[in-house]
Amino acid sequence: MNKVLYVRNFLSLEECNQLNKWVELGVQNKWLDLGRSKEAIWVYNKRLTTRAYADRFNYPKIVYSVFNKITNYLKVEHLDKSIAGGGKDGVVVSYTLPGGNVYAHKDPMENDRHVLRCNVMTQAAEDGAELFIGGEKINIEVGDLHCYLPSNIEHYVTEAKGNTPRIMWMFGYQIDKHEFDELLMNKPE
Measured CA distances, 46 to 94, 178, 183 (Å): 10, 36, 34
List pLDDT tens digits, range 110-128.
989 999 999 999 999 999 9
What's the pLDDT at 90?
A: 93
d(CA 164, CA 150) in angstroms, rounded, equals: 25
Which residues sit opposite 146 in a β-bridge? 6, 119
CB 66 within 8 A of CB 120: yes
pTM of the model: 0.94
With a cut of 50, say whether residue 1 has pLDDT above it. Answer: no
Q: Domain count for the chain, please give it.
A: 1
On whether the CB atoms of residues 19 and 167 are closer than 8 A, the answer is yes
What is the arithmetic mean of pLDDT over 155-162?
A: 95
pLDDT at 126: 96
**Residue bearing the bigger pLDDT, 187 or 159:** 159
- Domain CATH for 50: 2.60.120.620
Helix (H) or strand (E) holding 182: helix 177-185
Range of the domain at 67: 5-185
Partners of 118 in the beta sheet?
Answer: 147, 171
At residue 35, the pLDDT reads: 75
- CA 160 centroid distance within chain: 16
Which tens digit of pLDDT belongs to each residue from 52-104?
898 999 999 999 999 999 999 999 999 999 987 667 999 999 999 999 999 89
Assign 107 a pLDDT band (cuts: 50, 70, 90).
Answer: confident
Contact call for residues 32 and 53 (beta carbons, < 8 A): yes
